[in-house]
Structures are given as structure tokens and as C-alpha cells.
Structure 1
Amino acid sequence: MENLARNLQEQKHFEQPVQTNKQTLKVRKSWLTPGEKILGVAFAGIVCFGAIHIISNQAKIYEVNKDIQKVEDKIKAQQQVNSDLQAQVKGLSNYQRIYEKAKKMGLQLNENNIKVVQEK
């Protein structure tokens, strides 16, 4: 037995490691795993979608506000026209003016046929 152990030791000393000319490949480790990369891209996509959605909503709100302003301007202009027309009606419905027009048309004032109408 002793001989067998000695033979194994001698074989180990005689065997020299064989050197090969293999190039060692450096394995680069990414600081992000593929799952993290997918999550990052998904998050960036969601942020971009949200930003675009917010901007488009703001543009729609701006357009609606602009339309509201146009309608309000039209309302103000129409109110001005209405008030001018009401002033004309008051001026044209003056008793003196109506009396003069009636005289020009040949109508005469008959005091026995006058009726007073009261406004409610």
C-alpha cells in the first residue's frame, strides 16, 4: 500500500499543469437586470403617455375657454344692441311724438273717447 501512495505522490510532482493559450473572456455584468430594464422602459412609457395626455387636455381646455370668451363677447354685443333698441323704443313711444304723427295723418283728439291704460 505504501508503494501506491508514493507512486501517486510522484505522479503529482511530475505532472505539470498544462498551459493553454486560451483567452479569458471577461463577463460584463450589467448593473440592471432584464426585468428592471423592462420595468424602466414601461415606467418611462407611462410617464410619456401621461405627459402627452395632460398636454392634450390642457389644449382642449384652452380651446373651450377661447370659445366661451367668443360667446361672451357676442352676448355683450347683443345686450348693447338690445339696450340701444330699448332706448329707441322709449324715445319713439313718447306721447308728444305719437300725438304729432297722429295730427299729420289727419286724426283728431276726441276727449270723450280717451281711455287710460295702466301697466301692471
Structure 2
Amino acid sequence: MALEQRKFVSTHVHEQEMPVTPERQQGEKRARKLFSPGEKVLFVAFASLLVIFSSVILHTEGQLNDLNREVQTIGTQIEQQSKQNTQLSIQVKEQSTHERVWEKARELGLNLNEKNVKVVPGR
């Protein structure tokens, strides 16, 4: 009988208990971070550099526009001055004709005295 009892010794295997994880609800998903903190820092740095460079470019472009406008105004002033200079030189030529000089001389009371006129050779 001892042999029979030994045969009947239960060979019961204890199963290890697995920790039960609560089942997730369908609407509730585990929140996974989209970007790591290092990536966020890189994005912020890139965005700030982009803003800085674009503002520098816009600033220099504005300065160039101001300079171009100033160059154009100076160019128009030069054209006006050159027109005025040519008009004045034309007036000088008109005023300095031989007939005009004689008219002014007669108005001032000067007379042509051929005895006082000397001819200079070589001219």
C-alpha cells in the first residue's frame, strides 16, 4: 500500500501568477510623447534662427530701398542742376554778343572813337 500511495502523490504544478494588467479602454490610449526634449530644443533654436535671419534680411533690404530712393532723388537733382547750368550758359552767350555789348556801352554814354582804337596784330 505504501507503493500505491506513492503513486498517488499528487504532482500538482503550481502556476506562477502573472500580474494582471488592467485592460485599456478603447478611447484611452497610452500617451506617447511625440518629440523628445532635445528635439524640442532643436526646433525652438531653428525657429529662432529662422526669425532672426529673416528679420536681418528684411532690415538690410529696407536699407537698400532707402539708399536707392536717395540715389534717385540725387540723380534728379543733378539733372535739374545741369539743365539750369545749360540755360544759364545759353543766357551768357546771348548776353555777351558784340551787338549787345555796344548797346550797353551806348546806354552808359560811351562812344566809339576810332582814334583811340588800336589794332593788335596776331590776334
TM-score (norm 2): 0.70
Kindly name which structure, 1 or 2, has the bigger radius of gyration based on alpha carbons: 2
Question: 1:59 offset after TM fit, Å?
Answer: 1.0
- Aligned-residue sequence identity (percent) comes to 31
CA RMSD of aligned residues (A): 3.1
Question: Which structure has greater helix proportion?
Answer: 1
CA spacing shift, 1:58–1:19, aligned 2, 3 Å: closer
Question: 1:11 offset after TM fit, Å?
Answer: 8.1
Question: 1:31 offset after TM fit, Å?
Answer: 3.4
The one-character-per-residue Cα deviations of 1:54-83 (angstroms, maximum 9, x if unpaired) are: 111111111111111111111111111111
Letter of the structure 2 residue corresponding to residue 68 of structure 1: V
In the alignment, the residues of structure 2 paired with residue 69 and residue 54 of structure 1 have an alpha-carbon distance, to the nearest angstrom, of 23
Moved over 4 A (4+): 15-20, 22-27
TM-score (norm 1): 0.72
Question: 1:32 offset after TM fit, Å?
Answer: 2.1
Q: What is aligned with 1:3?
A: none
Task: Figure out how many residues of one structure are paired with residues of the other and give that number.
Answer: 109
> Equivalent residue of 1:63, what SS?
helix
> Equivalent residue of 2:14, what SS?
helix
Q: What is aligned with 1:43?
A: 46
Question: Structure 1 regions of 5+ residues with no counterpart?
Answer: 1-5
Q: What is aligned with 1:100?
A: 103
Question: Structure 2 regions of 5+ residues with no counterpart?
Answer: 1-8
